[in-house]
Amino acid sequence: MVRSRGFTLIELAVCLAIVAVMTVALLPGAMEKYQQGKINSSIEQARNLIPVCEIARTKAVSSTVGANLKVTHTYGSLTNWSKTADLQNLLTADYRLPATNPLGSNILVKFDSQRCYVAVDLPFKEDNYGGYTTENVGANTRIIITTRPAQSSSSAWVSYQKRILHEETTR
């Protein structure tokens, strides 16, 4: 009997079929982990941009001195979602901000007088993703990363602190 060398066509077809079945079974889970990693990186990148946004929010664009020698500052504003290039224009050249996140979408920022907001656009729609504030934009979900509002030192807060210090239960 003559011994053949190599593999037969049937053996190769069976091996390829096994590899194809394993790929179909394992690929969706691997792709989901890959997508989750991109989302987590984008959220972390947005968190890292918050301090830079705070610098732009609190930086005085111009100052004027009135007749009573009182200084009035004018601050920049980004009331609508804007690309990071607009934020870069409010800062000095020392800051280099990325334009896109790992998901491939533009990084969007805005701020008001109290806090900054950085957005991460997800390529799918899901409400309350990861406990973050979200809004729907077309067929996508926008995660909004923000800072906490500054605690006020108003008279109500001072009264509350006095009540705690004097161990009052009711007033």
Q: What is the three-state SS of the chain?
A: CCCCCCCCHHHHHHHHHHHHHHHHHHHHHHHHHHHHHHHHHHHHHHHHHHHHHHHHHHCEEEEEECCCCCEEEEECCEEEEEEHHHHHHHCCCCCCCCCECCCCCECEEEECCCCEEEEEEECCCCCCHHHCEEEEECCEEEEEEECCCCCCCCHHHHHHHHHHHCCCCCC
Give me the average pLDDT of each 10-residue run along the chain (171 residues). Answer: 78 93 88 89 91 80 70 70 84 83 90 86 84 86 81 64 67 49
How do the domains of the chain map onto residue ranges? 30-146
pTM of the prediction? 0.66
